[in-house]
A and B are shown apart, each in its own frame.
Chain A
Amino acid sequence: MRTPSLFRLLAGIAVAVPATFLLLGASPASAHPMPHSVVLLDVHDTSVTAALELPVTDLQTAAGTTDPVALRTYLTAHIRPVTTDGRPWTVTVGDIAMSRAEQTSTGPYSEVTATAVLTPPAGADVRHFTLDYDVIVHQVVTHIALVSVRQDWAAGQTAGASSVGTVQIDIRSMTVPPLTVDLGKGSAWRGFVAMVHLGGEHILTGTDHLLFLMILLLPAPLLAVRGRWRTPVTPRTAVTRIGRTTLAFTVGHSIALAVSALGHVEFPAWPVEAFIAASILVGAVHAVRPIFPGREALIAGVFGLGHGMAFSFTLAEMQLSTGQLALSLLGFNLGIELVQLLLVALALPGLLAVARLRAGAALRVTGATVTAIAATGWLADRLGAPNPVARAADSAGSHTTPMLAVLAASAIVAVLWGARTRRKKDQTGAVAVSPG
């Protein structure tokens, strides 16, 4: 009786997880005929990083220069955060670069991007301060700067942007009033929940991770005999295999994620990403001809290490404190597992059914071929040769709704088909399809 309750749990997840994704709103759009400045705040434990996007035309007018050294001085003079009791923060302006951008109704234009680290005096509140900011606006009085929070772990915000306010001239007095920044209360729980979210989203939109797991599971319901995939194994064996492979993948990427994040080990991104592409390719070959039959779990675990390193990039970007990082690891992993479990559960009926179909072999080889093409595209892309195959494969990750719908539909079809063939079998007493 344990089995049904497990499936009820899965059904619950199937409802809950997609529902949470529906709640992920789009970030607010904004429009202005002339491009405005954008200030994105990343709130850390003891400092705030401000990413600035400054339209060049107005910046040039206001600063009289676009020389990086002079701009650094200019920006430092015009970004003045102070504590609520008036003590100045320190401001360190970092990288300054030039890029192209486009906002609603503006057409394309050039912008300067810069980062500034804002640090409150020792002991001062990082979540409540006054931002006396008048970059460009002090001179180009029709310019505005939209200030928002891009990342605030303790408030549970890991992506998107929530508006803090607009810096603009008060026309009546022709002065620029400082912006009051109130980030509210932060808590570890909110950070944790956000990380569960992020983990789930990461696996759902990370087509490559998902494809690796699925391609490894594709031949799981089959028995390998003399270098060929032959007859289907019993459903129980298939489910056990699928469970073992999934678990091994989880263990692998969890270990790598924890080691790389907690140990502050920095892996270079491209070899890891290329390794992942290669792992999918290997999986695809294995799905056509068994090259490591019975050792899928081991392979999943080993390649899982690589996938875990890739996951760690997401966390590394967030510059979290150790405590936040530990909680993030737990939450992020939990989110990954939940969604992974959901997707495997949705795929399971289809996998089992395909193994029993007469056209099963053709379907399996087709799936493996498509996967191999995507993997090859990714591999080439990550080794420095961008190509349309990789782009198409990546874009699949942004269509999570149809993807889930297809998976769910396949599950339903598989279940119905299973029920029908069994009924037929019951009625005729004959074995229409061999269960192996």
Chain B
Amino acid sequence: MIDETSRRAAPTRRPWRGFAIGAVAALLIGGGYATANAATVNGKTKDKTAAAPVVQPPRGTGVAAVVNAANAFLATLTDDQKAEVVLDFSAANATAWSNLPCGGTCRPGIGLGTLTDTQLAAAKVVLKAAQGTGHSTGFDQAMQILQADDILADSQGSGSDPAPTGSTDPAATASSDPSATATADPSATATATATATATDVPTDIPSGTPPSGGPGGGGGPGGGGYGSGIYFLAFLGTPSATGTWQLHFGGHHLAVNLTYKAGKVAGASPYFVGVEPTSFTDDAGATVQPLSIMHDGMLKLTSSLTAAQQVKAKLAASFSDVLIGPGKDGQFPTTKEGISVRELTPAQKKLVLAAIHPWVAVVDDATAKQLMKTYESELNQTFVSYSGGLGLDTHGDYVRIDGPGVWIEFICQDGVVFRDQIHFHTVYRDHTRDYGGEFTF
């Protein structure tokens, strides 16, 4: 044995040892690298066993009904799920919404696809109470947007992932949104947004969550794809009939932000709603056109403009998307452009109000009525403008309504999935009431 030991140290053996060190080192590094890669793979690990109390229909009316429904929904959740839903009412969380199919990486909340049937039903009760009873507006419209996204998912082959970078890399979302940049340094702002989102949103999700997580770690199925499961519900602040909090519901082509303060709705905006495809057939064989109510209202208005009015209303600039999309909070043009509603006929003024209404109807009926009253009183300080064509059927056709309060943009864009069709993007904001006026930008 002694002999063998001494032999092992013999010079002719040494090369092998050297190789072994190098080889082992390379192997370890390689292995570590592979593990790190594997860790970024998105996993869906949700505890679905949380069947809890039976959902009660919301008690009360108005904000009280919303709060009751919200609490009933929360009661169906596990503590971990609650932590995904109830977040701080911070500017970072409030503004972290998007129109993009970027799953949970670019918006707060819990994915509908991760909920049990009971939980999902309770979530819908909340949305119904908060978003009003209008036909093709509010809750009804939101559900149609979800349906449209299922169409996109089907057309992409069972919800394949068209935006893989979006699902795992919060930074990708940030740069998607170079947006938050009225400031001098775009990259800095974008980074700040990403960091805030990634750190402010609680990520204490059950084991199995990818370590690279961030808010995307708790994302729904597919993360970056299309489909009605990839829509997210969040309460920023604790739902209450006395305090200040915000309801966020969003996903691809949808961002509902309703801010409650002391038992009243302090803001029903920003509200982004878009749709692709603009028209489809549902399971029952009925034609669904989620944004036709908005499109038709705007079209009636633009069609009513006389040649002279058109000249005044025409904008010099061209558009390929809405101007004040996600991340552009508070960035309203200083100068209002287009034709003043003051110059329009009484009939046309009615068309302006009718055009505004479908967006305002994102909120409960009583609040919508009040907001419409406000916007009506401000009509003479409101402007209507357009770019591209008036037909609202071609890429770049754009209409804007800009008042002291209301700001609505409607744009036709070339399709992303259905390339030979146009699709719609729209946004409703309020110069003073976005996020209930809680933040300055």
Known contacts A18-B29, A31-B102, A349-B19; decide if A171 and B332 are in contact (CB<8 Å).
Answer: yes
Judging by beta carbons under 8 Å apart, are A411 and B18 in contact?
A: no
A4 within 8 A of B: yes
Chain A residues lying within 8 Å of B319, measured Cβ to Cβ, are 140-142
CA distance A139 to B396 in the complex (A): 12
Stretch at the interface among B281-289, B323-331, B340-348: B323-331
For B334, the chain A residues whose CB sits under 8 A away are 172-173
Closest B residue by C-beta to A173: B334
**Chain B residues with Cβ under 8 A from A57's Cβ?**
320, 395, 414
B121: CB under 8 A from chain A?
no
Expressed in whole angstroms, the Cα–Cα distance for A28 and B170 within the complex equals 11
Stretch at the interface among A117-125, A263-271, A315-323, A418-426: A418-426
Decide: A140 and B419 in contact? CB cutoff 8 A. Answer: no
Please give, as numbers and ranges, the residues of chain A lying within 8 Å of B202 by CB-CB distance: none
Indicate if the CB atoms of A7 and B18 lie closer than 8 Å.
yes
Minimum distance in angstroms from A344 CB to a CB of chain B: 11
A311 to B320, CA, bound (A): 44
Within 8 Å of chain A (Cβ to Cβ): is B417? yes
Decide yes or no whether A22 CB sits under 8 A from chain B: yes
Binds A, one of B182-190, B205-213, B231-239, B354-362: B182-190
Asked if A349 and B320 make an inter-chain contact with CB atoms under 8 angstroms apart, the answer reads: no
Q: For chain A residues 126-158, which have a beta carbon within 8 Å of chain B?
A: 139-144, 146
Q: Do the beta carbons of A408 and B23 come within 8 Å of each other?
A: yes
B-side contacts of A411, CB under 8 Å = 19-20, 22-23
| B19 adjacent to A144 (CB under 8 Å) | no
Cβ of B110 to closest chain A Cβ, rounded Å? 23
Candidate in A18, A166, A407, A408 with the most chain B CB atoms within 10 angstroms: A408
Q: Smallest Cβ distance from B416 to chain A, in angstroms?
A: 5
Q: Closest CB of chain B to A357's CB: distance in Å? A: 16
B176 CB → nearest A CB, Å: 4
Contact B333 A171 (CB under 8 A): yes
Q: Which of A102-110, A254-262, A273-281 contacts B (4 or more CB under 8 A)?
A: A102-110
Given contacts A58-B320, A142-B322, whether A34 and B413 have CB atoms under 8 Å apart is yes
Q: Mark B92-108, 1 if CB is under 8 A from A, else 0.
A: 00000001111000000
Contact of A415 among B20, B33, B332 (CB under 8 A): B20
Provide the residues of chain B in CB contact with A336, threshold 8 Å.
Answer: none
Known contacts A15-B26, A412-B24; A3 and B15 CB within 8 A of each other? yes
Q: Which residues of A contact B181 (CB under 8 A)?
A: 166, 168
Check A401 against B30 for contact (C-beta < 8 Å): yes
User: Are B27 and A408 interface neighbours, CB within 8 A?
Assistant: yes
| B396 to chain A: closest residue by CB | A61
Q: Which of B4, B12, B172 contacts A31 (CB 8 A)?
A: B172
The chain A residue with its CB closest to the CB of B335 is A174
Q: Is the CB of B31 within 8 A of A405?
A: yes
Q: Which residues on the A side are within 8 Å of B101 (C-beta)?
A: 105
Q: Determine whether A226 belongs to the interface, using a CB cutoff of 8 Å to chain B.
A: no
Q: Indicate if the CB atoms of A28 and B19 lie closer than 8 Å.
A: no
Which segment of B65-73, B82-90, B161-169 sits at the interface?
B161-169
Q: How many residues of B contact A (CB 8 A)?
A: 68
CB–CB B165/A4 < 8 A: no
Q: Please tell me if A365 contacts chain B, counting CB pairs below 8 Å.
A: no
Cα separation A139 to B169 with both chains bound (whole Å):
32
Chain B nearest CB, measured from A328 CB (Å): 27
Q: In whole angstroms, what is the CA distance A180 to B169 when docked?
A: 27
Q: Which of B291-336 contact A (CB under 8 A)?
A: 317-324, 328, 331-335
Residues of B within 8 A of A107 (CB): 162, 415-417, 419
| Interface class of chain A by DSSP | helix
Q: Which of A18, A404, A415, A426 contacts B16 (CB 8 A)?
A: A415
Give min CB distance, B407 to chain A, whole Å.
Answer: 11
Bound CA span A166–B334, Å = 22
1/0 contact string of B8-22 vs chain A (CB within 8 Å): 000111111111111
Q: Tell me how far the C-beta of A202 lies from the nearest C-beta in chain B, rounded to whole angstroms.
A: 19
CB-defined contacts of B321 to chain A, threshold 8 Å: 33-34, 142
Q: How long is the Cα–Cα vector from A419 to B17 in the complex, in angstroms?
A: 10
Report the bound CA distance from A407 to B26 in whole Å.
9
Q: Quick check: is A32 within 8 A (CB to CB) of the other chain?
A: yes
Q: Does B277 contact A (CB under 8 A)?
A: no
List B residues 402-441 near A (Cβ within 8 Å).
413-417, 419, 425
Give the residue of B18, B102, B184, B318 whose beta carbon is less than 8 angstroms from that of A177. B184
| Docked complex Cα distance between A404 and B24 (Å) | 11
Check A28–B18 contact: CB distance below 8 A. Answer: no
- Closest B residue to A348 by CB, please name it: B19
CA gap between A8 and B20 in the complex, in Å: 10
A-B contact pairs, 30 of them (CB 8 A): A3-B11, A4-B17, A7-B22, A11-B18, A13-B22, A14-B21, A15-B22, A28-B171, A29-B172, A30-B176, A31-B102, A33-B413, A34-B413, A58-B318, A105-B100, A106-B416, A140-B320, A141-B319, A142-B322, A172-B332, A235-B12, A342-B22, A346-B26, A402-B30, A402-B34, A408-B30, A415-B20, A418-B16, A422-B13, A423-B4
Using a CB–CB cutoff of 8 Å, the interface residues on chain B facing chain A are: 4, 7, 11-27, 29-31, 33-34, 99-102, 162-163, 165-166, 169, 171-173, 175-176, 178, 181-182, 184-187, 317-324, 328, 331-335, 395-396, 413-417, 419, 425
With A10-B18, A31-B100, A402-B30 given, can you name 6 additional A-B contacts, CB distance below 8 Å? Answer: A30-B175, A34-B320, A107-B416, A142-B322, A404-B26, A408-B24
